Chains A and B, each alone.
Chain A
Amino acid sequence: MTPEVLLAAEEKMNPLLPAWPEVIIGLLCFFIVFGLLGKKLLPSIEKVLEERRDAIEGGMKRAETAQAEAQALLEQYRAELAEARHEAARITEHAREQGAVLIAEMREEGQRQREAIVAAGHAQIDADKKQATAALRQDVGSLASQLASRIVGESLEDHARQSGVIDRFLDELESKAAAAQGAAK
């Protein structure tokens, strides 16, 4: 290659002047890249990035909700527990009161029964005493009169007189006993 040709070639080539075929090819290439990335690839990745952001934020939100729910549930359980404790205390108190009333009632009933039994006993004793007294009075009368008839040897036939004597004697005895009792007191 002669220097002239080389010089001519160098003159022809100015690095600051774009060659149009290259510009066109370059632009074509750029628009192929831009077209595919802009129309298909970047929207598709953008969608996935959005989904991922959603998933992460949604997960965090879900966790927050779950925690709030758990907190609410805990509060509720605590409240219910407190309520139950209160209820139990109330029931115990009530039972205690009822028990006390029941005991008092039973005590009263017992007292009453005891009194009734005692009263019945007294009445029985009185009746027995009366009966015994009457029987004794009769027996003592007849015995005494038998004894007296035997001693005196005469039959005290006259019933009216007989009973009057015996009764008088017995009354005397009773009054004596009463007097003795009063003196002892």
Chain B
Amino acid sequence: MGADVQLASEAGCHFDSGCGFPAPGLNEFDFKPIFTVGGVDFNKPMLLSIICALLVVGFFWAAFAKPKLLPGKLQLVGEIGYDFVKRSIVLETIGKKGEKYVPMLVSMFFFVWIMNIMSIIPFAQFPVASKIAFPAGLALVVWITYMSLTFKKHGFVGGMKNLCWPSGIPGWVMFILVPIEFFSNIFVRPFTLAVRAFANMFAGHLLIVVFSVASWYLLSPTIGALYGSVSFVVAVGLTAFELLVQFLQAYIFVMLASSYIAGALEEAH
């Protein structure tokens, strides 16, 4: 249906031709299946996520498969990226105990980032994370890690205490606080983790689409050309802004995952 909207705009639907603005909506995020296997549709976001995985693996393969003591350009870039996630996110948040979780979080960071970047890659032009399934899957991985670490480290009772029992609080507040903490740590955290990434990408993509469609819609040999060009400039500016947001969301995602793991590994108080 997204294709329908595009077709409509390409067909010469301009604002002075009596055509209503073909406002992009949820249909922008719905894709016709590329093919169907056993009743399951294989669509563009799935294809993009596979491409993203291949890109991440391909890049790091090229950079790290045969590492040298004196790094080449690609290896150096890879090292900078790896070192950034390892030092500035994981070790900074978890500390020395975080070494074990570096590979998972590094993979997560680059996978999420490249999925977000797909938003501004020509022909892809769709942030994979704007389909909630993808961040939800990753949030599930984080949640399972978080829960299993908590209960493995503290046992069931200790784990529950770690999740629900904040320290240094007078007894009567616990009455209210414990249910809130329980709810917040066990249900809200994974949900917000997924929704944050999803909503940012969703909104960003929608904004870019709205202004792109508008610049085409407003384009006509009247005053509309001026509106159209303003809209186009905004679309370009938003694309640049999205580039920042894409990085930021990947960063926040991994940062929060690290902080959950850090919380799970925390000594009982």
Q: Which residues of A contact B (CB under 8 A)?
A: 1, 6, 9-10, 13, 15-27, 29-30, 32-34, 36-38, 40-42, 44-45, 47-49, 51-52, 55
Contacts and interface: CB of A to CB of B under 8 A. Distances in A.
Contact of B138 (A20, A26, A45): A26
Nearest to A16: B132
A19 to B, nearest CB: 5
A42 B137 contact: no
Nearest to B51: A29
Interface in B8-38: 25-27, 29-30
Mostly helix, strand, loop or mixed at chain B's interface? Answer: helix
A46 to B, nearest CB: 9
Given A37-B57, A42-B64, 4 more contacts: A16-B132, A16-B198, A26-B137, A29-B50
Contact of B137 (A9, A30, A49, A55): A30
A42 B102 contact: yes
Given A22-B46, A29-B50, A37 B140 contact: no
Nearest to A11: B26
Interface stretch (B105-113, B155-163, B223-231): B105-113
A21 B67 contact: no
A131 B53 CA distance: 142
Contacts of A55: 69
B144 to A, nearest CB: 11
A4 to B, nearest CB: 14
B30 A13 contact: yes
Contacts of B75: 45
A165 to B, nearest CB: 135
Given A9-B1, A23-B137, A30-B141, A45 B111 contact: no
A51 B69 contact: yes
B182 interface: no
Contacts of B111: 29-30, 33
A25 B110 CA distance: 17
Given A21-B41, A36-B61, A42-B82, A29 B68 contact: no
Nearest to A34: B107
Nearest to B110: A33
A142 B46 CA distance: 168
19 contacts: A10-B25, A18-B133, A21-B41, A22-B43, A22-B137, A23-B133, A23-B136, A26-B49, A27-B141, A29-B49, A34-B104, A37-B57, A37-B107, A42-B82, A44-B64, A45-B82, A48-B68, A48-B69, A51-B69
Contacts of A32: 53, 57
